[in-house]
Amino acid sequence: MKFKSIFLTLFFLLTVSLATMAQDSQLDVIKQNAETALQNKQFVRARDNYLRLFTAYSNQGDYATAVDYGLKANEINIQERAFKEAFDLFRNIGQVITDAEKKTGKQQPQLSYNLASERLLLYQKMRRDSLASWQLQQMDRFAKAINTPAIYKNLLVLKMSNSFVFGRYAQGEAYLKELAQMQGDGSREEMNSYYQQLFAVARQSNNAAFTELLYNQYNAWNDSLNLAIAEAKYQQLQTEYNEVKTALADEEDTVRTKQWFIVILCIVLGAAIVFIFILILRQISLTMKARKAKRLMLAADERNERHSSFVQNVSAQILPAIGEIEKSATQLPQTMPQTILIQDTASALQSYMQHIERLSQLESSLTELYPTETIGLKDFFDELDAIVRPTIAPGVNLVMDTPKMQVTSNREQLKELLLHLLGNAAKFTKEGNIRLEYKKRGAQTFQFVVTDNGPGIPEEEQQDIFKPFSHVNQGILNGDGLGLPICSLMAVKLNGQLTIDSTYKRGCRFILELHS
């Protein structure tokens, strides 16, 4: 009986061990798939694999690894501007950290700091200054609990980059000077990595003044470090020279020895001169690179201005010509099919050029948000209903979930955007329902959801519907495909984003999420 118990115990342990090995092997495959997808720029696939790793390690109780993969997944969400998914995942990661604290009975300031750092990136991406500042305050509290020199330097770099992102240059320069004072506390590689983070922020913000200031500071630090190395080598050479000189003074036995000493001294001094000359050339080269970077940024701004001016000039030249064509067509017999085709084509071309001009204007002013006002939703929804209802097909039910609430946004731009979505729904829905809903998602976040029971949009085409000129083969008389890209840019200027719900399969559902 005793032998049987031992056998069963060993069998159970062996089974558990094999199961653990199989699970670890499966996780290694998922990790490899995630890294491969990321290298191939298959971001959605990489994110899904990272989420699987996040869930698996959370279930295993390996909370630190789970948080790491969760944050990698959210980096892709933020990059792809999937803000709703990012907020949801942040809540899940926060719950994992809470579970870790309950299980260990200890606070997890490092995990909380990493989570807050990723949230900061999201708020910077969304241009939410107040929330980004609040997040830095939380990170300051976590850094005090961690209490290491590296974490304070990292926090200082993040504070500096946040200041420059939101245009607080004086504050950013103060942080930069503070970083310069800390340079002696870390290795050259560590300080160089912090500067590289700041260069990335400069490139992302396209700020020429910040870039020039940063390059000057970096060059000064790098040159001072190189000069210190050169000085140390020079002192070493000077010491060796003194030792040789002393030895020769003690052994003045031959002139040949003195001659060799003179030769060695000349070589040493020549090497020192060459080394210093190389340092001077390097400093000149870095200065020229900084000036070149500044010129490139100014040239990029000039190209954007020329692009907008070119589109406006083209529109100004072509639109009158199209109008003349349309006017001339009215003088032809209206019973001729060619007359109708000419009129329709001219009208479509005129609309297409107007859409291109509108798209260019929106792209060039994307960082300038629309002015806002208080909007009563009941009257606003009633106005939309009166415009849309005459356009829907017989038998289609238009439902307006009218709330008695107020929101802060730009009335005219919001009206234009929602009318376009509702107009598309009316155009393609021949039976069933068209619904407009308002949903409160947070203290400062709300959504407008437009749902229809039309044919929907194929899943393989959904990722391109907000990209301009992605439907060039459908023919201009069937629509220019610029309506949704224009709506997407308008959503950004309304301080939000426009997305399609890929999980909805009974038609089409668009979600406009705004932040007041």
Three-state SS string over 216-244 comes to HHHHHHHHHHHHHHHHHHHHHHHHHHHHH
| pLDDT score, position 312 | 56
- Tell me the per-residue pLDDT of 439-471, one tens digit each, with 9 for 90 and over: 999 889 999 999 999 999 998 888 888 888 765
Place of tokens 């064509």: 325
Q: Are residues 345 and 467 in the same domain?
A: no
Q: Are residues 42 and 183 in the same domain?
A: yes
Comparing C-alpha atoms, which of 289, 292, 395, 311 is closest to residue 357? 311
Pair 111, 67: CB distance under 8 Å? yes
Q: Reduced to 3 states, what is the DSSP secondary structure of residue 397? A: strand
| pLDDT score, position 389 | 95
Q: Are residues 154 and 297 in the same domain?
A: no
Bigger pLDDT: 298 vs 223: 223
Q: Reduced to 3 states, what is the DSSP secondary structure of residue 439? A: strand
H-type helices in 330-410, by residue range?
Answer: 337-364, 377-388
Q: Is the pLDDT of residue 51 over 70?
A: yes
Q: Are residues 122 and 191 in the same domain?
A: yes
Q: Is the pLDDT of residue 1 over 70?
A: no
Residue 260: pLDDT band with limits 50, 70, 90: confident
CA distance 207 to 259: 59
The answer to whether residue 178 is domain-embedded is yes
Q: Are residues 173 and 88 in the same domain?
A: yes
The answer to whether residue 18 is domain-embedded is no
Q: Is the pLDDT of residue 22 over 60?
A: no
Residue 274: pLDDT band with limits 50, 70, 90: confident
Q: Are residues 117 and 145 in the same domain?
A: yes
Q: Are residues 60 and 206 in the same domain?
A: yes
Beta-bridge mates of residue 452? 434, 508
For residue 344, the one-letter residue type is D
| pLDDT score, position 451 | 96
Q: Are residues 174 and 39 in the same domain?
A: yes
Q: Are residues 426 and 450 in the same domain?
A: yes
The phi and psi torsions of 515 (rounded to 5 degrees) equal: -125, 125
The answer to whether residue 17 is domain-embedded is no
CA distance 219 to 282: 10
CATH number, domain containing residue 395: 3.30.565.10
Pair 495, 515: CB distance under 8 Å? yes
Q: Are residues 254 and 357 in the same domain?
A: no
Mean pLDDT of the region 162-183: 78
| pLDDT score, position 299 | 47
Bigger pLDDT: 64 vs 13: 64
The answer to whether residue 118 is domain-embedded is yes
The helix/strand count (H/E) of the chain reads as 16, 7
Which stretch of DSSP H or E encloses residue 452?
Answer: strand 445-452
Q: Are residues 170 and 231 in the same domain?
A: no
The answer to whether residue 3 is domain-embedded is no
Instruction: Write down the mean pLDDT value for the chain.
Output: 80
Number of domains in the chain: 4
CATH number, domain containing residue 66: 1.25.40.10
- Tell me the per-residue pLDDT of 142-170, one tens digit each, with 9 for 90 and over: 899 988 888 888 888 888 888 888 888 88
Comparing C-alpha atoms, which of 365, 225, 347 is closest to residue 283? 225
Residue 300: pLDDT band with limits 50, 70, 90: very low
CA distance 470 to 163: 37
CA distance 56 to 50: 10
| pLDDT score, position 192 | 72
CA distances from 427 to 118, 391, 392, 499 (A): 42, 8, 7, 19
Q: Are residues 161 and 176 in the same domain?
A: yes
Q: Is the pLDDT of residue 185 over 70?
A: no
- pTM of full prediction above 0.75: no
The answer to whether residue 1 is domain-embedded is no
State which of 151, 182, 216 marks the end of a domain.
Answer: 216
State which of 166, 197, 216 marks the end of a domain.
Answer: 216
The answer to whether residue 23 is domain-embedded is no
Bigger pLDDT: 305 vs 418: 418
Residue 322: pLDDT band with limits 50, 70, 90: low
State which of 192, 216, 240 marks the end of a domain.
Answer: 216
Residue 320's domain comprises 306-364
The answer to whether residue 24 is domain-embedded is no
